[in-house]
Structure 1
């Protein structure tokens, strides 16, 4: 099992991970769901600032949940 996040704009357009400025420690895959969720918890603000509006958690290519909105407080 390989856990990963799919990043999207508000309209559902997929943003490739290599297209995210300022996101440097982003692993392509995590070994557990918990690791993937912890990584997102630590990095969601950076993702939101880079233009990610929502994410989906994937197990290999199978969607687990989402969209999960990433919104910065104003």
Structure 2
């Protein structure tokens, strides 16, 4: 399976975001570590990590506090 991120707005509804896929969880998390601030600026409120169609974890808020 491929790892990818699902992007959510403040209401928990899916929104568009980068269509990146990763071979493993570590690669996905490393990419997210570099991209999360830009995602937040672009209106993403939270993310869910997926392995194929299975949720690995989340939603994880991008908001401070």
TM-score by length of 2: 0.91
- Displacement of 1:15 in angstroms is 0.6
Deviation beyond 3 Å, 4+ runs, structure 1: none
Q: Which runs of 5+ in 1 are unaligned?
A: 18-25
Paired residues, number: 65
Post-superposition Cα deviations, 1:5-56, rounded to whole Å, max 9, x if no partner, equal 0000011110122xxxxxxxx4521011000000000110000000000000
Cα distance in 2 for residues equivalent to 1:42 and 1:32: 16
Counterpart of 2:8 in structure 1 is: 8
Question: Post-superposition shift, 1:72?
Answer: 4.9
Q: TM-score, normalised by structure 1?
A: 0.80
Q: Indicate the structure with greater strand content.
A: 2
Does residue 70 of the first structure (1) align with residue 62 of the second (2)? yes
CA distance in structure 1 between the aligned counterparts of 2:64 and 2:34, rounded to whole angstroms: 14
CA distance in 2, matches of 1:14, 1:72: 20
- Structure 2 segments unaligned to the other structure (5+ residues): none
